[in-house]
Amino acid sequence: MTSGTILNSKLFRIFFICAFFLTAGLFPKVTFAAENGPDTSKTKFDAKAMILEHISDSHSWPVAFPFVKEKFLPLPVILYTEKGLEVFSSDKIQEEGSVYAGKLHSYKLETNHVKVVDASGKVDEEASKKVWDISITRNVISLFLSIVILLIVFFKVSSSYRIREGKAPKGLQSFLEPLILFVRDDIAIPNMGHKYGRFMPLLLTIFFFILINNLMGMIPFFPGGYNLTGNIAVTATLSAVILLVVNLNGNKHYWKHIFVPNPWWLFFIMIPVEVVGIISKPVALTIRLFANITAGHILILSLISLIFILNTIWVSPVSVVFVVFMDAIELLVAFLQAYIFTLLSALFIGMAIEEHH
């Protein structure tokens, strides 16, 4: 067998991938050192703290590549205090216990929250409550990144539709056209009937926004690795949009169904139930997306931290195999949750605009 055929054989590729991950497992202290402070070797590995740090928001962006020590990109901290705005870089308070003396107060980072510190170096809870933190955090910057990616992709695709009008789609266009047609033919039309056109921009935006964030969350290194759709504030905002759209577009049959039950004397039980129904639908959407994505992240991180809990590299083959398996499932879940969120939104809107028959 010549070297060319060895390099091209499937078995060799699998071995190569396994060898790569196993050697990556040999240097746990390099890649994970920054997460537990400087003396990882002495302190016990705290899986819960590591997982919570990974899935929650933070004031700096960790940049991790294999075999390179993790670095933190500083992000701007913007605080709205009663005396005015305060803007500074987060690397001034990033180091544990460091205090930054700003124009109006002194600040310190405590469990990922910016707290006001008084002259003696103690945290002033009263003053901290008055400060509104509107910083560009990791989630905010990842939101901007997703928006930029979506804008670039869709402006490119729409311009190629204009240029190549009447011709077969090509490149990125031919990748996205089936997805767009899928949203139209399998989500919008069956649930909303002939009035689907007005809601297509909303449904497409929601579908692709959730999809890109789910997929970016699955990339473990720098441009990805964030947990935006696994943040309950983001999913709650998305469902609040759905709540508004459903109720502002509800026709008279929709409101009649809620406030005039069929045997009218049932009103004292039916009206509260229906009003709770208005609220509970978007809440269910919020929790479903949040919980699915967060659970996926927690599962993958726990499987990886198994190596450090048992403190031996011989667990790493098991861990890596399970993580690859879970990643494959998460890829399915990423598409599925974007689909389900859009499908249920279309269903709720369809129920609100349905004509009586």
Q: Which residues bind other proteins (CB under 8 A)?
A: 284, 287-288, 290-292, 295, 332-333, 336-337, 339-340, 343
Q: Which is closer to other proteins, CB of 131 or CB of 338? A: 338
Give Dmax over CA atoms of the chain in angstroms. 86
For 72-121, give the DSSP string: EEE-EEEEEETTEEEEEEGGGT-STT-EEE-SS-EEEEETTEEEEE-TTS
Q: Which CB, 179 or 258, lies closer to other proteins?
A: 179
Q: How far is the CB of 291 from other proteins (least distance, A)?
A: 4
CB of 225 to other proteins, least distance (A): 22
Of residues 48 and 162, the one with the C-beta less far from other proteins: 48
Q: Per-residue DSSP letters for 159-175?
A: HHHHHTTTSPP-THHHH
Extract the tokens encoding 254.
């929709």
Q: Which residue number, 173 or 292, has a Cβ lying nearer to other proteins? A: 292
Distance of alpha carbon 195 from alpha carbon 180, whole angstroms: 17
Taking the complex as a whole, how short is the minimal distance between the CB of residue 288 and other proteins, in angstroms?
4
Which residue lies nearer to other proteins by CB, 41 or 111?
111
**Buried-state track 276-303, b at ≥16 Cβ within 10 A, e below 16:** eebeebbeebbebbbebbbebbbbbbbb
Element (H, E) at 51: helix 47-55
Residue in this structure with the two tokens 């989500």, named with its chain if needed? 187
Tokens describing residue 220:
């473990």
DSSP sequence for 179-190: HHHHIIIIIIHH
Q: How far is the CB of 299 from other proteins (least distance, A)?
A: 11
Residue number with CB closer to other proteins (55 or 145): 55
Q: In the bound complex, what is the minimum distance in angstroms from residue 143's beta carbon to other proteins?
A: 22
In angstroms, the first-to-last Cα distance of the chain is 73
Taking the complex as a whole, how short is the minimal distance between the CB of residue 276 and other proteins, in angstroms? 16
Distance CA 23, CA 66 (A): 10
Task: Give me the least distance between CB of 181 and other proteins, in Å please.
Answer: 15
Distance of CA 160 to the CA centre of its chain: 29
Which phi and psi (to 5°) does residue 61 adopt?
A: -105, 110
Residue (30 or 295) nearer to other proteins, CB: 295
Smaller CB distance to other proteins: residue 101 or 283? 283
CB of 332 to other proteins, least distance (A): 8
Residue type, 158: S
CB of 82 to other proteins, least distance (A): 31
- Identify which of 57, 81, 66, 60 has the alpha carbon closest to the alpha carbon of residue 24: 66
- Burial degree of 149 (CB within 10 A; 0-12, 13-18, 19+): middle
Query: How large is the C-alpha radius of gyration of the chain?
Result: 25
Q: How far is the CB of 316 from other proteins (least distance, A)?
A: 26
CB nearer to other proteins: pick between 234 and 333? 333
Residue nearer to other proteins on the CB measure, 54 or 105: 54
Rounded-to-integer distance, Cα 42 and Cα 30, Å: 15
